[in-house]
A = this chain, B = another copy of it.
Amino acid sequence: MPSTPAPVGASRPGRPGYDQESVLALSVQVFNRHGYDATSMGMLAGELGVSKSAIYHHVQSKEHLLRLALDEALVPLEALTEDDSIRTGPVAERLEHMLRATVRVLIDRQPYVTLLLRLRGNTDVERDALRRRRDIDVMAAELVGRAQQEGVLREDVDARTSTRLLFGMISSMAEWFRADGPVPAAQVEDLVVAMALDGLRARP
């Protein structure tokens, strides 16, 4: 059943209606603040200042809400595995595109990526999301392995571990990056690539 978007902040002053997108945006904040397991539909209704039935107008259940929220992170990440600039061309460029694009998805979908990264796999929806995340990780590790074989990256380190450190560094941004912070997103993106490839050591 498709949801009917309610007019946002239109119907009654001080008691804005929500569409599915804004229910999602607010719910993911509550999931991240208290943990998915600890969040009830009653808590979400309280935070949104609406009745539970107003939420059920947009989603069937808490798990449905989780699935929609995780898609906000997973769909753009999965799109990277289909992206021509990451799939074809010189491997050094493919790798750099992958790193930059991952940073951009993280910044663009920060709360949803945070939710994804904290999943523990307690429900079917979570386990399915973790499977999809693993497929993206495998593709990234293949790219890193290829870059090692072609002499772009150091060969003396395990590809899987290098991949985890690389993408772990990027994932950590979910916890500390602030869009209104002192360093703009584009500069953080450059720094991630610089650190990943050349480290932070000063060079003459």
Contact = CB atoms under 8 A, between A and B. Distances in A.
Interface of A: 32-38, 117-118, 120, 122, 148, 151-155, 157-158, 160-162, 164-169, 171-173, 175-176, 182-183, 187-188, 191-192, 194-203
A28 to B, nearest CB: 13
Q: Looking at chain A's contact residues, is the secondary structure mostly helix, strand, loop, or mixed?
A: helix
User: Which of A148, A194, A195 is the most central at the interface, judged by chain B CB atoms within 10 Å of its CB?
Assistant: A195
Nearest to A172: B168
| Copies in the assembly, this chain | 2
A153 B199 CA distance: 9
Contacts of A122: 33-34
Given A152-B202, A169-B169, 15 more contacts: A151-B202, A152-B201, A154-B202, A160-B183, A162-B191, A164-B176, A165-B192, A165-B195, A168-B168, A168-B171, A168-B172, A168-B176, A171-B175, A194-B199, A197-B199
The 5 A-B residue pairs whose C-beta atoms are closest, nearest first, are A168-B172, A35-B35, A37-B38, A38-B38, A199-B199
A200 B175 CA distance: 24
Contacts of A195: 162, 165-166, 195-196, 199
B36 A162 contact: no
